[in-house]
């Protein structure tokens, strides 16, 4: 008997990170895990343009402190388009609970990033997540 691979609810990810090494590592890691990286952007302006143009983004991974402003602006734009947001940052903003599905504290192991995405995907799919990674806060109201 063959087992079919379960279809993901989150496939296409926009990565918004202004630290080049973190952005490269995250892009490479998630691509290797089978996710499609829509774009890797280092600015609010660039991220807003991609969100406005691409209707098929499933998740935005966004740092709060970006080169030209706050990732909170990116989260607002994504939320307005019905796109889930995961903040990946050293300090989660106060308004994150209203804008994002969750917040993953930097620095984090790559397995925690995968687990956080899986938790968000479970909530989107109407399931209760099993276990949260230690560095992850889930905001059930947003997901």
Which pLDDT belongs to residue 80? 94
Which pLDDT belongs to residue 3? 58
Which pLDDT belongs to residue 97? 82
Distance CA 5, CA 100 (A): 28
Distance CA 73, CA 81 (A): 13
12-138, CATH topology level: Rossmann fold (3.40.50)
Cβ atoms of 51 and 135 within 8 Å: the answer is no
Q: How many CB atoms lie within 10 A of CB 73?
A: 17
Distance CA 37, CA 73 (A): 20
Cβ atoms of 42 and 15 within 8 Å: the answer is no
For the chain, 143 residues long, give each residue's pLDDT as a single digit of tens. Answer: 455 566 788 999 999 999 999 999 999 999 999 999 999 999 999 999 999 998 899 999 999 999 999 999 999 999 999 999 999 998 888 888 899 999 999 999 999 999 999 999 999 988 888 788 888 999 865 55
Cβ atoms of 69 and 41 within 8 Å: the answer is no
């Amino acid at each position: 008997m063959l087992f079919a691979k379960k279809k993901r609810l989150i496939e296409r990810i926009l990565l918004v990170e202004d630290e080049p090494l973190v952005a490269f590592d995250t892009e490479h890691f998630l691509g290797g895990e089978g996710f499609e990286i829509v774009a890797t952007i280092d600015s609010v302006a660039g991220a807003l343009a991609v969100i406005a143009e691409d209707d098929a983004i499933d998740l935005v991974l966004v740092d709060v402190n970006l080169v030209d402003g706050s990732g909170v602006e990116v989260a607002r734009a994504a939320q307005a388009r019905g796109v889930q947001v995961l903040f990946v940052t050293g300090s989660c903003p106060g308004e994150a609970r209203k804008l994002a599905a969750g917040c993953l504290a930097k620095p984090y192991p790559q397995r925690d990033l995968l687990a956080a995405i899986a938790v968000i995907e479970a909530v989107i799919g109407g399931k209760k997540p099993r276990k949260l990674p230690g560095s992850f806060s889930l905001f059930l109201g947003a997901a």
